[in-house]
Amino acid sequence: MLTRVRHPLRYRRVFVERVSPLTPRMRRIVVAGAELDGFTSPGFDDHVKLFFPDAAGRLPAPVVGADRLEFPEGPPPPGRDFTPRHFDAARRELTLDMGVHGDGPAARWAATAAPGTPLGIAGPRGSTIVRDGLAWNLLVGDETAVPAIARRPKNNPGPHRPF
């Protein structure tokens, strides 16, 4: 029923390609870059760690250690976990749906992100693949769960009945 897959730890520096509003509190942000070569996210609920530039706009590059990222030049930049909404390997574009509420590093970055804005991405470290052909699925979540929920039907194209 479930297959777990591990992925090598890798850090990628990407840049915002385009931004579009989804709702008053959500933005769709597409990042792109050559470092997305080899990116994979086969599990519908995979997550990546996003690293945001500091207040001065610096985004230090880590060194990939045996089992974690190490930031030899000081503390790591602020980071948060997000589920990718979509990945286009041919265009090397990763789509993220991000909230713009509150005052955390992800919300601040998402509110001001514009083409050319840098972002660091690590992961996913692993994926859980749910087999196709299940008789039914119950997926529940708030707006932050939409990327994962939206990815699941592609893996299980059976009937979907909203409540």
d(CA 86, CA 145): 14
Burial of 84 (0-12, 13-18, 19+ CB in 10 A): buried
Is pLDDT larger for residue 143 or for residue 80?
Answer: 80
Q: How many CA atoms lie within 13 A of 71 on its CB side?
A: 12
Span 80-133, pLDDT tens digits = 999 999 999 999 999 999 999 888 999 999 999 999 999 999 999 988 888 777
- Contact present, 53 and 114 (Cβ < 8 Å): no
* Region for residue 108 given its phi and psi (left: phi exceeds 0; alpha: psi -120 to 50; beta: otherwise): alpha
CATH entry, 2-131, from 2.40.30.10, 3.40.50.720, 3.40.930.10, 3.30.230.10: 2.40.30.10
What are the extents of the domains in the chain?
A: 2-131
Predicted confidence (pLDDT) at residue 27 exceeds the cutoff of 80:
yes
pTM summary value: 0.86
